[in-house]
């Protein structure tokens, strides 16, 4: 346990939500220029290398916000949220993008151990989602303490989206540095 740092999920209090969402707004601001409509983040439970996610934030573009009757980031914040896509992303050793086309992959959200999924991204028109592990260098290995996810109505250009997501998900980004300084981060190590 890291001294003085918040434990996930026990200490993941709504007081952290505005700062996390502030970073996600910055990510969405960059990705909206190339079609993103929604950005989310999950963080892993502290003190484990197993992929055990907790919802940490959601930011949506104005078009989606207008259609909703609630704020999913506020409703889901701090909730355990098992996901095959999350597991695939944090277990990807090199931190490569994981892509989902929910027009084809939606049944995965109901698989044993993962469902039933709420599918809030696909329901808001985010048919395509890209997931990337947050990556923190620890010696000569990397810890994957969570994910960053971007949603798109149209199939995204991976060459345009990939570098932006990698920048925000990597050690040294403002978001990852905030997480390192604030939370005792768990997650798989490669």
Q: How far apart are CA 169 and CA 134, in angstroms?
A: 4
For 119: left if phi > 0, alpha if psi spans -120 to 50, otherwise beta; the answer is left
For residue 121, being part of any structural domain is answered with yes
For residue 169, being part of any structural domain is answered with yes
**Percent of the chain with pLDDT strictly greater than 70:** 79
**Domain extent for 68:** 25-184
Whether residue 116 has pLDDT greater than 70: no
Number of folded domains in the chain? 1
- At 143, the pLDDT band (50, 70, 90 cuts) reads very high
For residue 12, being part of any structural domain is answered with no
What is the pLDDT of the chain when averaged over all its residues?
86
For residue 143, being part of any structural domain is answered with yes
Whether residue 58 has pLDDT greater than 70: yes
Look up the CATH number of the domain holding residue 154: 3.30.450.40
The pLDDT, as a whole number, for residue 115 is: 46
Name residue, tokens 């502290």. Answer: 46
Whether residue 23 has pLDDT greater than 70: yes
For residue 132, being part of any structural domain is answered with yes
From the list 149, 73, 84, the residue with the least C-alpha distance to 117 is 84
For residue 68, being part of any structural domain is answered with yes
For residue 20, being part of any structural domain is answered with no
| DSSP state letters, 143-179 | E--EEEEEEESS---HHHHHHHHHHHHBTTSHHHHHH
For residue 82, being part of any structural domain is answered with yes
Average pLDDT over residues 32-52: 96
Listed range (61-75, 123-137, 168-182) with the worst mean pLDDT = 61-75
């Amino acid at each position: 346990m890291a001294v003085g740092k918040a434990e996930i999920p026990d200490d993941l209090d709504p007081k952290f939500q505005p700062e996390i969402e502030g970073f996600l707004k910055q990510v969405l601001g960059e990705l909206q220029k190339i079609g993103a409509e929604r950005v989310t983040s999950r963080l892993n439970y502290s003190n484990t290398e197993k992929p055990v996610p907790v919802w940490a934030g959601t930011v949506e573009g104005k078009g989606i916000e207008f259609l909703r009757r609630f704020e999913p980031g506020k409703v889901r914040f701090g909730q355990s949220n098992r996901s095959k896509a999350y597991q695939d992303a944090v277990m990807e050793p090199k931190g490569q993008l994981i892509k989902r086309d929910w027009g084809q992959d939606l049944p995965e959200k109901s698989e044993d151990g993962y469902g039933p999924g709420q599918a809030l991204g696909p329901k808001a028109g985010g048919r395509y989602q890209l997931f990337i592990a947050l990556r923190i260098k620890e010696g000569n290995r990397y810890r994957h303490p969570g994910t960053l996810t971007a949603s798109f109505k149209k199939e995204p250009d991976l060459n345009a989206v990939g570098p932006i997501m990698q920048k925000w998900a990597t050690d040294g980004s403002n978001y990852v540095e905030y997480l390192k300084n604030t939370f005792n981060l768990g997650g798989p190590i490669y």
